Structure 1
């Protein structure tokens, strides 16, 4: 999983202008099934200035079924700024959320 994430990150970096291709990224594995806590504590450990997380965007009903790591992280602790990035064309509806449970 980590290697796949690193490859995806490299693809992302290559889309950026040369002067921005040295953006550091920290990969971590959540063994405790609490990604919000893992992300926040890793950010504190790394002395991060900013946490950036992607969001698939869910309807309110879908979010109630699935929850949202980005949403929970936004409410977890506000000592580190958080940037949530979402593709405006990507949304998960109620039925799709139900199928993913």
Structure 2
């Protein structure tokens, strides 16, 4: 490099340094802003109460009389011929 070229380049490096610093600072500010917005969204999502979906058809048969009737049917079914149940959609699960 020639000395004349250095005399022109040196002042421009200070300008370029300032421009690069401004770009770097703006990127960091933008990143921190996005981070703060994301944290706010997460906080509001955690605090939000979601409404449960309403089930279409719920049949509740949990009364004592029904349980007695089912036990009576099971006893009668055990006395009859053992084999496949009449209703193939019935699953008997005991816990």
If the length of structure 1 is used for normalisation, what is the TM-score?
A: 0.15
Please say which structure displays the higher CA radius of gyration.
2
Higher relative contact order (CA 8 A, sep 6+): 1
Higher helix share: 2
If the length of structure 2 is used for normalisation, what is the TM-score?
A: 0.16
